């Protein structure tokens, strides 16, 4: 005895892709990169407390400050390196020091 499967029991799914989906993906990537760039180029801090406040804002307002150091880069610019512990991870935020 031979059983036959009808063509309706087999389903083929085509994935929809095209220029619209690609354009949306590229646009989303550009927006994300712009947002990240804006947070990295925050205003300068004139003192240690301002640097801590700015780093905490960048960190979502949560965390514990572990330390702050002033670091001078090779080009002569000074930065505050603010270490923050949040969700079990230590992050270092570099905040440019105003002159």
Range name among 18-22, 44-48, 68-72, 89-93 with the lowest pLDDT average: 18-22
pLDDT (0 to 100) of residue 43: 75
Supply 9's token pair.
């029991």
- Which has the closest alpha carbon to 77: 96, 49, 57, 53? 96
What is the Cα–Cα distance from 46 to 51, expressed in whole angstroms?
Answer: 8
How many CB atoms neighbour CB 25 within 10 A?
10
68 confidence band (pLDDT: 50, 70, 90): very high
pTM of the model: 0.56
Mean of the per-residue pLDDT values of the chain: 78
- The beta strands (E) that lie in 1-99 are given as 64-72, 78-86, 89-96
């Amino acid at each position: 005895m031979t059983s036959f499967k009808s063509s309706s029991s087999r389903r083929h799914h085509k994935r929809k892709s095209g220029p619209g989906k690609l354009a949306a993906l590229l646009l989303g990537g550009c927006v994300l990169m712009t947002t990240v760039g804006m947070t990295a180029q925050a205003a300068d801090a004139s003192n240690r407390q301002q640097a801590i406040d700015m780093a905490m804002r960048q960190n979502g307002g949560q965390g514990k400050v572990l330390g702050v150091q002033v670091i001078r880069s090779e080009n002569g610019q000074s930065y505050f390196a603010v270490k923050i512990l949040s969700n079990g991870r230590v992050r270092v935020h570099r905040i440019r020091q105003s002159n």
